[in-house]
Chains A and B, each alone.
Chain A
């Protein structure tokens, strides 16, 4: 049985593609019909999940209230466990951050991830503990003669946060004093849905192109609740609410190069056009447009010894393009990097498994005018289990990624622990 995680293989002949007789061709058509139906079902499933993404994304940081939110890198658990290496890992995966990696998938595949996080923030004397679950990425692929077609859906920005202040105020114009709780909450985010194709060009090179939409919504509300008042105990709260929908185009390309069976390097470039925030009918606040940035990723992996591989990646997102569009925050370019090792000498449930370790670091783009950029770093670990393989095709796979990290912005320190799980099923 071959472990996909350590396989640096060239393009593989898809079984059944050579035409060797009418009967076999008819059988292939039947198989294709079945695959097509499965693919359609997979697409429908992904579409359902995509629609659910904006509603299910839960905030993962106190910094989600800064600027356009917290960038939510749409990595799967394999990348997360391997030091947050988002691109350049051994091919045969359905990573949204590495579109060319799907070129070697010979059977239809679907993958989805869910991520649970627990965090504790300290800002001076204030502390806050919170937790949440989100679905960072969903993807489906379907191989054809033209290449491997894929759909990726993943989160880009998490905008869910709340701030609450309880204070006693004087009602202006009188001597009456009232205790009020002012709560500002932001709920929503931006996700991306991309459709693309990737294929091998020659024995070492794979190329990918994709296009899609940046979508999402945000609901921002202010609510003042009168907790108690001398003149009355039951006072309805004051509230002001605005809701906007995000719409924008995105596209990009990816490339991967294999060096025999020992190494692979890859790069991707993602372009995003202006994302328009369109107010709903009942919203008083104006709409705005944000010049979303381009994103460049570069990474690679190499086999150091039998069963031991190393990987590293670097990415830069030009968030400074949105700086002029923001009213209450500043935006700076953000750099992220990660590196890690994978050791394939483990057996879990009697299945070939891989153990991963790594570290990732980087900047967060949004901050106020008088603040430096926020930084983020995390130690990572991961476990991948090949649950089922047939010949050289991996049919079911389960990956876990653990992160123990820290975010820093001025006096705020935020420690987090995050568990990511990715399930991939192929050949359906």
Chain B
């Protein structure tokens, strides 16, 4: 009995299982409740409260490249500062018997300063001339600026001459875009000794752009030293000395234009937009005509919210040469601004890519930034104090020397808030 029962049951179950993948049937009622989707655009006065611009986030030394420029766009002066690591104490030398041995008594007889161009960035189309010099003063890579060699909490030290001067010129070199990605300055043993030693480097090097109106990003400035080993004096060995720290300083350092938003730069700028979005809308007219006013704005009715900004002219010398990636994050504690912690990105991993061309001339191109979760939090009445401030910043800080500028309240193209709302009757029983 057991066998026949099991067999019959298994057969029934196997047949039944073929229907276990539920496929819910379609109802005959295609539109069980009325539903409308509307798009409304709120002017600044209807949702905005204030805009603050804060700077000083990060340091040029944290960038992957250094900018050298002179009279770029008629304004920007920028110089690279490099401190090499200590010279090597030993070298592996092949002696006269063909055996590798360690030599610690070699002599530096000459060398080269090698600068590598950041070929991922926008580069000059014509050859440019650069100079290399020995710095004369101590400096701090994380805080150095055009006027200050050291600008930390504990120590402030100005350059003798603004722009990391004075310096001892080592020479100039031409970089031809068609020739490769390296710029080389040959230096003699005296220069090698002046730049550094095995006991520690001196003040380091400064690289300047000589060609007026040119701007060039450098990835690295290193030394390549020629040595004559004591174990095999007929041989010359080259040793690499990578940079220990490097940064760049620039001038001018324009303050934000009043009434405008600024995002980017190095150190980076952030714009904080504080909103005061009402939960009951009495406009705009389009909303009132189509849905009716007053309209109660709820998180559940909100499909999408985007902050619309209009690009503005950027100060000379700081116009973006490459795409600017703009991120939006919620300010988690307004009382701690400008150092408030921020939420995770509202714009996705890399932020919103903005073409540099939108800042050409006077700008005037609209940029749309996603802020849906921020607005939904504002509209959610969960008893907690709503977070009203939104930070606009670059995806990484700093992202580059250039920044983006946007028109502020009261200007043509002031910030606006675009909402897509879906309004439907409540789901009810039949």
Contacts and interface: CB of A to CB of B under 8 A. Distances in A.
**Are A and B interaction partners?**
yes
Interface string A383-418: 001011000000010101000000001001000000
B370 A67 contact: no
A171 B27 contact: no
A292 interface: no
Contacts of A236: 303-304, 372
B31 interface: yes
B385 interface: no
A231 interface: yes
A164 B31 CA distance: 9
A415 to B, nearest CB: 12
Interface string A153-196: 00000001111110001011110101010101110000000000
B35 A123 contact: no
Given A165-B31, A222-B427, A350-B4, A121 B25 contact: yes
B28 A240 contact: no
B116 interface: no
B32 interface: yes
Interface string B1-12: 101110111001
A65 B8 contact: no
Interface in B16-39: 16-33, 35-39
A168 to B, nearest CB: 11
Nearest to A412: B28
A238 B26 contact: no
A113 B339 CA distance: 66
Contacts of A176: 39
Nearest to A327: B430
Given A64-B27, A161-B25, A171-B420, A396 B427 contact: no
B287 interface: yes
Nearest to A116: B19
B285 to A, nearest CB: 10
A349 to B, nearest CB: 3
Contacts of A174: 39
A79 to B, nearest CB: 17
A232 B306 contact: yes
A254 to B, nearest CB: 29
B24 A132 contact: yes
Q: Which residue of B15, B19, B40 has the most chain A CB atoms within 10 A of its CB atom?
A: B19
Contacts of A67: 430
B286 interface: yes
Contact of B32 (A133, A163, A218): A163
Contacts of B418: 231
Contacts of B37: 169, 171-172, 178, 180, 224, 238
Contacts of B35: 182, 222, 224, 238
B97 interface: no
B30 A163 contact: yes
Contact of B1 (A180, A285, A327, A387): A387
A66 B32 CA distance: 11
A231 B32 contact: no
Contact of A133 (B19, B27, B36): B19
Given A231-B368, A285-B428, A396-B5, A240 B33 contact: yes
B429 interface: yes
B26 A327 contact: no
Interface in A232-280: 232, 235-242, 244, 277
Identify which of B25, B27, B303, B428 gathers the most chain A CB atoms within 10 Å of its CB: B25
B5 A398 contact: yes
A148 to B, nearest CB: 24
Nearest to B290: A172
Contacts of B30: 163, 165, 182
Given A65-B29, A412-B28, A172 B38 contact: yes
A61 interface: yes
Interface string B37-54: 111100000000000000
A240 B424 contact: yes
B427 A116 contact: no
A286 interface: yes
Interface residues of B, number: 55
A80 interface: no
Contacts of B28: 62-63, 65-66, 123, 163, 409, 412
Contact of A388 (B1, B12, B287, B301): B1
B426 interface: yes
Nearest to B5: A387
B422 interface: yes
Nearest to A417: B19
Contacts of B8: 348-349, 385, 387, 398
Contacts of A116: 15-20
Contact of A173 (B1, B21, B38, B429): B38
A173 B428 contact: no
Given A65-B27, A116-B18, A224-B422, A171 B429 contact: no
Contact of B24 (A162, A237, A328): A162
Nearest to A64: B25
Given A65-B28, A130-B23, A328 B430 contact: yes
A220 interface: yes
Interface in A50-75: 58-68
B426 A284 contact: yes
A238 B22 contact: no
A221 interface: yes
Most buried by B among A121, A238, A240: A238
Nearest to A129: B23
A25 B8 CA distance: 39
Contact of A171 (B13, B18, B39, B291): B39
Contacts of B304: 226, 229, 231-232, 235-236
Looking at B13, B37, B287, B290, the one whose CB has the most chain A CB atoms below 10 A away is B37
Given A67-B430, A235-B303, A236-B304, A423 B9 contact: yes
Contacts of A218: 429
Contacts of A343: none
Interface string A362-384: 00000000000000000000000
A184 B27 contact: yes
B420 A163 contact: no
Nearest to A176: B39
Interface in A295-336: 326-329
Given A235-B420, A327-B429, A163 B38 contact: no
B5 A186 contact: no
A329 B1 CA distance: 51
5 contacts: A62-B25, A114-B16, A133-B19, A224-B303, A236-B372
Which 8 residue pairs of A and B lie closest in terms of their CB atoms, listed nearest first?
A65-B27, A349-B4, A116-B19, A238-B422, A130-B23, A163-B27, A171-B39, A242-B427
Interface of B: 1, 3-5, 7-9, 12-13, 15-33, 35-40, 286-287, 290-291, 300-301, 303-304, 306, 368, 370, 372, 418, 420, 422, 424, 426-430
Given A66-B27, A129-B23, A173-B286, 20 more contacts: A58-B24, A66-B28, A130-B25, A132-B23, A133-B22, A161-B25, A172-B36, A173-B39, A173-B287, A174-B39, A184-B27, A218-B429, A222-B32, A231-B304, A232-B304, A238-B300, A285-B427, A285-B428, A348-B4, A421-B16
